[in-house]
Amino acid sequence: MNAPSRILAVANQKGGVAKTTTVASLGAALAEAGHRVLLVDLDPQACLTFSLGIDPEDLELSVHHVLTQGKAAADVLISTDDGVDLLPATIELARAEADLLTRTGREHVVRMMLEDVPDYDWVLLDCPPSLGVLTVAALTAADSVLIPLQCETLSHRGVGQLLDTVHDVRRYTNRALRVEGVLPTLYDGRTNHARTVLETISETYELDVIEPPIPKSIRFAEAPAAGRSILATTRKHRGAEAYRAVAENLVRRAAAR
């Protein structure tokens, strides 16, 4: 019997905090370490799908067909050059969000989709920049949620709202949901400011900080156009090394539970 998969939602309703980069990079790091990994693109912008070298426009089937039209997840699965499998998104997912609003059981659509995929060690869910139906459905399916955070003065204003949503999800649809912690991204360690903001956030909300912080680097911005994560294109890069260390950390934390 295989160990059950760990389902990690990567969420923050703020855009541009490196959710998608984190999913792609942690996915590549976990795959490098020998884990079987599934990534799920739940953002209608389909940036994760694109960054894995797949043009959403070429896809006939995508995650929204599974979530709203009863297609089998297995028919939508794609294996990628980064050694991970993907349930891809297209812009049609925006309509799924609207369609689901009036559906009974909408919170459970991602969970149900994942019941229907082959065995994986890790499933990473890339959430859209909102606290709408898709994010709630991701949190309902997840064992834990990782919150990428850019350590700027105002960056924590949304964290309280996200945690409110986590509490609602715990109450109504997924009692066991844990908050893994915050992952500092786009981190500029040269400033004391970033460190201070991070400490304030973790104290205010009593959240673990998942280390190490991911340094700010132009290489991350270049990677999606190459269709590969920076772990594949620049093996020794400090950003890639940081994600490898975070992946190890997450594996250790999961094993300790």
The site for Mg ion (CB under 5 A) is made up of 19-20, 47
List the one residue from 9, 18, 125, 141 that touches ligand ADP (CB under 6 A).
18
Residue 188: exposed, middle, or buried by beta-carbon count in 10 A (0-12, 13-18, 19+)?
A: middle
Biggest alpha carbon distance in the chain?
A: 51
Task: Between 123 and 146, name the residue whose CB sits nearer to ligand ADP.
Answer: 146
The C-alpha atoms of residue 193 and residue 26 are separated, in whole angstroms, by 26
Contact 231, 29 (CB under 8 A): yes
Nearest distance from C-beta of residue 213 to Mg ion, angstroms? 19
Q: Is 89 in the site for ligand ADP (CB under 6 A)?
A: no
Residue number with CB closer to ligand ADP (173 or 240): 240
Q: What span, in angstroms and rounded, lies between the C-alpha atoms of 203 and 205? A: 6
Report the partner that residue 240 touches, choosing among ligand ADP, Mg ion, none (CB closer than 5 to 8 A by kind). Answer: none
Size of the site for ligand ADP (CB under 6 A): 17
- Footprint of ligand ADP on residues 226-255 (CB under 6 A)? 239
The verdict on 216 binding ligand ADP (CB under 6 A) reads: yes
Which residue number has the CB closest to Mg ion?
20
Packing angle, helices 93-100 and 133-141, rounded to 10: 80
Q: Is 155 in the site for ligand ADP (CB under 6 A)?
A: no
Query: Of the candidates 127, 107, 100, 145, which has an alpha carbon nearest to the alpha carbon of residue 44?
Result: 127
Per CB under 6 A, does 47 bind ligand ADP?
yes
